Amino acid sequence: MMHAGMPLSWAEGLCCSMLLMAIWAILARLPVLSEASNRVENSSPLAIWITRLLSSQLLLLSLKLLMVGLFFLVIICGLYGTPLPQQNLATELTWNIWWAGLIVSVFFLGSGWCAICPWDTIASYLTRLNILGASDNSTRLNLAVPGVLRSVWPALLMLLLLSWLELGYGITADPYATALLAMLMLIITTTSHALFERKAFCRYFCPVGRTIGFYSQLAPVALRPVDPQVCSRCETLECYRGSEQVEPCPTGLLMKNLKENSYCTSCTNCVRSCPTANISWKLRPLSQEARQDARPRHDEAWFVIALLALALLHGLTMMPIWEQQLQQLSAWLGESGLLLWGFTILLATTLLLVASLYAAAIAVTMKLCRQRIGFKKLFIDMAFMLLPLAFGYHIAHNLTHLWRENSWSWLLHPFGLPTQALPSMSRVMPTMGSGEAGLFILQSGFMLFGFCMSLLILRHRAARLASHDSNRRGFSLLPLALFALLITILQLWLLTQPMMMRF
Ligand code: SF4
Ligand code: SF4
């Protein structure tokens, strides 16, 4: 089934606004940076109250148990329900509600999902016989994570594998395989929790946690010290070490040094263990962290590049032209059936194209810079500008799934519709004028947000690198601004194209 895309006139209007923004980004003077004056984080009494509420044992436990219940429902429906994906709770809830809505949730809640993640809840229970508090019944070996795994390369590999299963193998249309994947993730999480100290799976291996972790650098909320001075004087470090009642930080973060959301799972252990109640949710400007606080590493830069390429791939694979290219390539390879080799080659090509284009833009920028900045440093530092490009399109694309792909029949019939209901089964298909305009307004907003944030990050990062440059305009940013414009135009074009529904 095909869906019409965003009207071309909307995309043209957006392109014109973005072109003007790009011209401004190049011609305007770069911002003058000062660490203290540019950081804005507010924790009002209301935010502190909300933090206490959200970290209450009762609420957390209830939400965790609800997620565990839904997780088992997905497995049972996937294994024993109808193989029709549009009628089975396993595929509808996993891919159309959770996976599509997860990225949207980051915009409001940061990495809040991880606080109630059922894989972690069940694995923690199996390895500690306790869900929330500290436990003496641990069956963990608490081994140190080998140095070679202490990066996001494992999570990047897992993300590629997940995308391959989702877009290549078509697991989204297979309730049984969806249930098996959910169980496989649980086995890997439990094994990691049992072997390694803290929660190595969440920090190094989980593709879901790392994706929302990086995206949450753009989020307007973060857990931070209420008074940084109190943290700097603290010697007991309960947030890091835990207390008698509360587990230590699962990803080994020390609140007084915390500048990035990437590895925070929002578990609120630190809120509950801090003896001075000095940790709260704080409001901050969108993308502040990606602009000035985050200090990237090589592996993290590649993870962000992969996020951008995979977000594009989600749109590309829903287009008829992708199907035609895949068929042609697979015929040339002599492949039939699931066409997995052909898909793998196209996936690798998309990744390589995005990375090469970005590398080329960095190389030209390096030549234009008056200061001598190494290619690697520029490549890593500027990767943050790709985050909002990926995030804005990822949300805009996922809204299509959330808006159009739910039949909701699975709510009443999680295992599938009764046979007699099948002939009359119909999917609710909104048409332009009966709600579609709302979808396009939201998509346009997120696309503008992504592009605008990307330029802001680019200018802030450039200002930091060129702090001694007397020429403080952004002329040298032209290649990267063009790169951002090119990617966004491609994304907008994808949004205007008719899309094939997954099921
Ligand atoms: S990092 Fe992964 S396993 Fe850990 S809590 Fe988040 S989603 Fe769950
Ligand atoms: S800093 Fe650590 S303990 Fe605090 S919410 Fe984040 S992951 Fe949990």
- Ligand sitting nearest the alpha carbon of 189: 1
According to DSSP, the residues that pair with 283 across neighbouring strands are: 42, 221
Q: What is the C-alpha to C-alpha distance for residues 495 and 132, in angstroms, rounded to an integer?
A: 43
- What are the structural domains, with CATH classification, of the chain? 1-31+296-417+432-503 (no CATH), 57-216 (no CATH), 221-283 (3.30.70)
For the question of whether the overall pTM of this predicted structure is more than 0.95, the answer is no
Distance 261 CA to ligand 2 centre (A): 9
- Per DSSP, 448 falls in state H
Query: Does any ligand 1 atom lie closer than 6 A to the CB of residue 119?
Result: yes
- Ligand sitting nearest the alpha carbon of 246: 2
According to DSSP, the residues that pair with 143 across neighbouring strands are: 196
Is beta strand 499-500 parallel, antiparallel or unpaired with respect to 2-3?
antiparallel
Q: What is the C-alpha to C-alpha distance for residues 3 and 267, in angstroms, rounded to an integer?
A: 39
DSSP string, 178-226: HHHHHHHHHHHHHHHHHHBSTTHIIIII-HHHHHHHHHTTSSSEEEEES
* Residue identifier of the C-alpha nearest atom 7 of ligand 1: 209
Digits of tens for pLDDT over the chain (503 positions)? 677 788 999 999 999 999 999 999 999 888 877 655 456 666 677 777 787 777 788 899 999 999 999 999 999 999 999 999 988 999 999 998 999 889 989 988 899 999 999 999 999 999 987 777 777 767 788 899 999 999 999 999 999 999 999 999 999 999 999 999 999 999 999 999 999 999 999 999 999 999 999 999 999 999 999 999 999 999 999 999 999 889 999 999 999 999 899 999 999 999 999 999 999 988 888 888 898 888 888 999 999 999 999 999 999 998 888 889 999 999 999 888 888 999 999 999 999 999 999 999 999 998 888 777 889 999 999 999 999 999 999 999 988 888 877 777 777 778 886 665 554 444 444 444 456 888 999 999 999 999 999 999 999 998 887 765 655 677 889 999 999 999 999 999 999 998 777 66
Binding pocket residue ranges, ligand 2, CB within 6 Å? 223, 249-251, 253, 255, 264-270
Distance 354 CA to ligand 2 centre (A): 33
Q: What is the C-alpha to C-alpha distance for residues 223 and 202, in angstroms, rounded to an integer?
A: 17
Single-letter code of the amino acid located at 224: R
Measured from the Cβ of residue 359, the count of other Cβ atoms closer than 10 Å reads: 12
Distance 17 CA to ligand 2 centre (A): 39
Single-letter code of the amino acid located at 449: F
